[in-house]
């Protein structure tokens, strides 16, 4: 299969995935308790006021009509207006997505090299002291919830040592370096959570590849150790790890509610969480779709990378 056909097929599948997601989110939103007007006006507002605002927003129409009207606007590029906040959804979603990509990006740049190095190092020294330390530390920190590690980090580096700012929101007009500096502290809890998982996958992949026949053959034909590892072992060892990393991207972009809350950071996770609580469907639906899109794109890139690394898959056109 030609790469263009492969890409077109995958993109079509992505579009179907996102459409199914939009239906699920829309219907799921209808199952949330309470109604929109009540969420806006609070529990003690009069029933008449609630009915009036529901009518003004059009949420008293049949669900199918609401869905069609919403999806129609999406195709026109209009994400709608937030029910609760009375501003265009795009004005909320755009900055939040950029913020999330920045935080996710910085955490990604920290966690991926550290975890890969840790995993490879551990695999090359299976059963030795450093392997045990990496495995044990990785497991221990990955079971520590972010709200614990975040508070410990804030207390140590933000309040006692005063090395790093405790809120991740940088001053207006800050340079890229300042932004990176503000994001160091919130990136660490994410690194801690993911380090154990990614390092373990890298370690397992490496061990399997190191024990393989082709690695033994490469060693026996007299290749130096680093060439064996770099050229023969790594390629095969990294494939499952790449898929695992790609699968974590959705979480790193959209699932950081706890970290965003504790570090007072306006990311897409918090935006969606608050929208769900407030029954602010336009924000909720657009937000979930955006995260869904990021996730499917990440998986697409991972598929490409795996295909590129694996000659067998390449020959079959990624099938």
Partner 1 sequence: MSRKKFIESLRRQSTDLENHVIDEYLSGYIDRRQLLRHGSVFGMASVLGGIIGAGAAGSRAYADGKPGGTVRVAITTPAGAIDPILVADSAGGTMLQQTGEYLIIDDPDLKLRPVLATGWKPNVNADIWTFSIRKNVKFQNGQPMTADDVVATFERLSDPKNASNALSVFQGVLSKGGTRKVDDYTVAFHLDAPNGNFPYYVSSDNYNAIILPADYAGDFQKNFMATGPFKLDKYTTNVGASFVRNPDYWGPQALPDRVEFTFYTDQQSQILAMQGRQVDVIAQFSVVGGQALLNNPSVNVISLRSSSTSQIHMRCDMGPFQDKRVRRALALTLDRVGLIKGLFHGTADLGNDSPFAPVFPSTNSSVPQRHQDLAQAKELLQAAGVSPGTSVNLTTEQFLEIPELAVIMQNAAQSVGVTINLKLESQSAYYGNSTFGQSDWLDSQMGITDYAHRGVPNILLAAPLMSNGTWNAAHFKNKDYDSLVGQYVKALDLQSQRDISGKIEALLLDESPVIYPYFYDFLTATVPNLKGVQPNASSLLFLDRASFT
For partner 1, the closer CB: 4 or 48: 48
Rule CB under 8 A: say whether 41 interacts with partner 1: yes
For partner 1, the closer CB: 120 or 276: 276
Rule CB under 8 A: say whether 45 interacts with partner 1: yes
* Best CA proximity match to 7, nearest among 310, 315, 312, 297: 297
In the complex, the smallest distance separating the C-beta of residue 160 from partner 1, rounded to whole angstroms, is 10
Count of residues binding partner 1 (CB under 8 A)?
48
In the complex, the smallest distance separating the C-beta of residue 74 from partner 1, rounded to whole angstroms, is 21
Binders in 92-121 for partner 1, by CB under 8 A? 92
Binders in 259-288 for partner 1, by CB under 8 A? 261-264, 266, 270-271, 274, 277-279
Distance from the Cα of residue 313 to its chain's centroid: 26
Residues ≥6 apart with Cβ < 8 Å to 239? 205, 306, 309, 310
Helix axes 281-309, 3-31, angle to 10 degrees: 150
In the complex, the smallest distance separating the C-beta of residue 87 from partner 1, rounded to whole angstroms, is 5
Rule CB under 8 A: say whether 256 interacts with partner 1: no
In the complex, the smallest distance separating the C-beta of residue 221 from partner 1, rounded to whole angstroms, is 59
For partner 1, the closer CB: 40 or 289: 40
Question: What would the two tokens of residue 146 be?
Answer: 């972010």
Rule CB under 8 A: say whether 247 interacts with partner 1: no
How crowded is residue 70: how many other Cβ atoms within 10 Å of its Cβ?
19
In the complex, the smallest distance separating the C-beta of residue 169 from partner 1, rounded to whole angstroms, is 7
Interface residue with partner 1, options 44, 161, 176, 220 (CB under 8 A): 44
Interface residue with partner 1, options 84, 137, 234, 293 (CB under 8 A): 84
In the complex, the smallest distance separating the C-beta of residue 77 from partner 1, rounded to whole angstroms, is 21
Rule CB under 8 A: say whether 184 interacts with partner 1: no
Interface residue with partner 1, options 43, 77, 171, 173 (CB under 8 A): 43
Binders in 159-178 for partner 1, by CB under 8 A? 159, 162, 165-167, 169
* Cβ(10)–Cβ(300) below 8 Å: yes
The number of CA neighbours under 13 Å toward the Cβ of 263 is: 37
Residues that bind partner 1 (CB under 8 A): 32-35, 37-50, 52-53, 56, 84-87, 91-92, 151, 154-155, 158-159, 162, 165-167, 169, 261-264, 266, 270-271, 274, 277-279
């Amino acid at each position: 299969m030609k790469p263009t056909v492969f890409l077109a097929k995958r993109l079509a599948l992505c579009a179907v995935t996102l459409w199914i997601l939009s239906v699920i989110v829309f219907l799921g939103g209808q199952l949330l308790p309470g109604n929109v007007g009540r969420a806006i006006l609070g529990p003690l507002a009069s029933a008449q006021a609630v009915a009036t605002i529901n009518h003004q927003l059009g949420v008293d129409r049949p669900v199918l009509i609401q869905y069609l009207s919403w999806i129609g606007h999406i195709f026109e590029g209009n994400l709608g207006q937030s029910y609760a906040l009375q501003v265009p959804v795009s004005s909320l979603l755009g900055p939040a997505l950029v913020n999330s990509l920045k935080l996710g990006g910085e955490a990604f740049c920290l966690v991926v090299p550290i975890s890969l190095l840790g995993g490879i190092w551990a695999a090359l020294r299976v059963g030795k002291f450093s392997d045990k330390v990496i495995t044990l530390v990785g497991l221990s920190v990955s079971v520590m919830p972010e709200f614990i590690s975040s508070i410990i980090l804030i207390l140590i580096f933000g309040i006692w040592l005063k090395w790093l700012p405790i809120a991740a929101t940088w001053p207006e007009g800050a340079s890229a370096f300042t932004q990176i500096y503000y994001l160091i502290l919130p990136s660490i809890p994410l690194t801690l959570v993911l380090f154990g998982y990614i390092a373990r996958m890298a370690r397992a992949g490496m061990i399997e590849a190191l024990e393989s026949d082709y690695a033994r053959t490469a060693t026996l034909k007299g290749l130096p150790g680093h060439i064996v590892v770099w050229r023969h072992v790594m390629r095969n060892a990294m494939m499952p790890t790449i898929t695992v990393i790609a699968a974590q991207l959705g979480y790193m972009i959209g699932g950081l509610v706890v970290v965003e809350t504790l570090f007072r950071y306006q990311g897409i996770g918090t935006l969606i969480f608050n929208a769900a609580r407030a029954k602010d469907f336009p924000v909720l639906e657009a937000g979930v779709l955006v995260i869904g899109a990021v996730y499917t794109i990440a998986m697409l890139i991972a598929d490409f990378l795996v295909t590129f690394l694996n000659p067998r898959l390449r020959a079959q056109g990624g099938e």
